[in-house]
Homo-oligomer: A and B are copies of this chain.
Amino acid sequence: MSAIRHALSTKREDDFAQWYQEVIAEAEMAEESGVRGCMVIKPWGYGIWERIQRLMDERIKAAGVENCYFPLFIPLSYFAKEAEHVEGFAKEMAVVTHHRLIGDGKGGLVPDPEAKLEEPLIVRPTSETVIGAAMARWVQSWRDLPLLTNQWANVVRWEMRTRMFLRTSEFLWQEGHTAHADREDAMAETLRALEMYREFAEGPLAMPVIAGEKPENERFPGAVATYSIEAMMQDGKALQAGTSHYLGTGFAHAAGIQYQDKEGTQQYCHTTSWGTSTRMIGGVIMVHGDDDGLRVPPQIAPQQIVILPMLRDDDGDAALLAYCEDIRRSLAAQSALGEPLRVLLDKRPGKATQKRWAWVKKGAPLILEIGGRDAAAGQVSLLRRDRLWNAAAKPDFRAMPKDEFLGIAAGEIEDIQVSLHAEARARRDANITRDVTSIDALATFFSEDKRYPGWVELCWARPTGAELEGVIKTLKELKLTIRNTATDAAPASGACVFTGRPAVERIYVARAY
């Protein structure tokens, strides 16, 4: 059995970070823009985002949440109102100070000193403040509650170290913001959003996640409780792929979001916020990619089946293209995963094998190669991206009659969606360790020569304040963080790894992005 020659030059096990950059480049998902910390999202990457947007938006609307659009700019004074909130953003934000350019007398342009803004404007890092101001106008009575809004938008956080999709100065996201009459209703919404994210990750993204509550030091600034979904990447690190916050009445106090209850008394609202972003695409790459490039789960693939006619620039091409077009039409009339199949007939010039490898690197779920002889024989040749290689280290093409393929195509697409999830789930579960019962054992576990050590689930006594700070410091020395406590965690048992006191809950500890 000969060695497989992979489509990428870097293997995951050799240099995961380099492999990640290579997948993004070779799959033509995104590239550096020339603008510090900002990327250009190319058609294949943006197509995946469009699929994510559509499927997430359906879920948001189904929950009765209405989309709005709020300003890109937030006056500086709005931030001063929420000191605690600002503190958490480390104040690293893009500040607009001028509204005009003028010539500098040397052929260049400079901000016009005459056009300095009286009050600087901040490019939104998140929209709690400006949406809070709107909520204060919109909410008058208990009849106006709950107020459920969402926004799809770009936001900017001035990041010092950026990595495409995972941490960029500008990124795209949705931010849900809701106001409620009481704690119970707001907490129910916080957990509804968390469950929506969990189902979205496990479903369309085929990405297993732990949904749970973050420890108090990891809360969103100003939040009473912060929940997250955490996914395990193939290097064993955790990626926070979505968050949901119960904000108590703190933001309502700062923005003046009040309502008159049924008894006629003025009350402050309880608010929530929840968000997911283009960061999810980074997660999809690091969960499903392999040494041949990306593998896109069919539900979020811009194209699920790519048909590659093996054109020869001769008289036979017309019949071949007609045969391929007939297959494309038959497929497009079918459905899988609740939607019509998305099928591309790639007629562009170029060698068929080069085009095949381009689609392998992009991760199109099913690739169909069809030559003139296949067309004459009524055959197709089928390649599943998730099972690329056969035992002989060759691409595992399956030849079959066209009609047989048309009968199984939708089922293959659905099977790929399930298989990618099962594969990621098995890997994740195999890399969670539960038998670490001391700090020394934890240190030993993560210091061993394991390239991808995975996560450790620990029992702890949920220390707070200074004691928690000590725990965080200990973990930090091991380059570890607490990810979350699963909402469906088993009861804790035994002693707290950090304090020796009886444990009260389980936490996941991991290296993280």
Scan residues 129-166 of chain A and give those whose CB is less than 8 A from a CB of chain B.
Answer: 130, 133-134, 137, 143, 149, 153-154, 156, 158
Name the distance in Å between A121's Cβ and chain B's nearest Cβ.
7
In the complex, chain B residues whose CB is within 8 Å of the CB of A133: 34
Tell yes or no: A72 within 8 A of B by CB. yes
In the complex, chain B residues whose CB is within 8 Å of the CB of A312: none
Q: Which of A89-97, A244-252, A436-444 contacts B (4 or more CB under 8 A)?
A: A89-97
In the complex, chain B residues whose CB is within 8 Å of the CB of A39: 71
How many copies are assembled?
Answer: 2
Name the distance in Å between A27's Cβ and chain B's nearest Cβ.
14
Total contacting residues, chain A, CB less than 8 A: 65
Tell yes or no: A123 within 8 A of B by CB. yes
A75–B37 CA distance with the chains assembled, in angstroms: 12
A99–B91 CA distance with the chains assembled, in angstroms: 8
Q: Do B93 and A99 touch (CB < 8 A)? A: yes
Scan residues 49-91 of chain A and give those whose CB is less than 8 A from a CB of chain B.
Answer: 49-50, 66-77, 79-80, 86, 91
A96–B350 CA distance with the chains assembled, in angstroms: 44
Q: Which of A104-112, A353-361, A366-374 contacts B (4 or more CB under 8 A)?
A: A104-112
A68–B69 CA distance with the chains assembled, in angstroms: 21
Tell yes or no: A43 within 8 A of B by CB. yes
Q: Do B72 and A101 touch (CB < 8 A)? A: no
Q: Do A97 and B100 touch (CB < 8 A)? A: no
Q: Do A73 and B38 touch (CB < 8 A)? A: yes
In the complex, chain B residues whose CB is within 8 Å of the CB of A137: 31
Q: Do B70 and A40 touch (CB < 8 A)? A: yes
In the complex, chain B residues whose CB is within 8 Å of the CB of A40: 68-71, 134
Knowing that A41-B69, A97-B98 touch, tell me 12 more A-B residue pairs with CB under 8 angstroms: A33-B71, A34-B75, A34-B133, A35-B121, A38-B71, A40-B134, A47-B66, A73-B156, A86-B109, A92-B100, A95-B97, A97-B111
User: Could you name 5 residue pairs across A and B whose Cβ atoms are closer than 8 Å?
Assistant: A33-B71, A76-B109, A95-B98, A95-B111, A123-B123
Residues of chain A at the chain B interface (Cβ within 8 Å): 31, 33-35, 38-43, 46-47, 49-50, 66-77, 79-80, 86, 91-102, 107-112, 120-123, 130, 133-134, 137, 143, 149, 153-154, 156, 158, 170, 172, 349-350
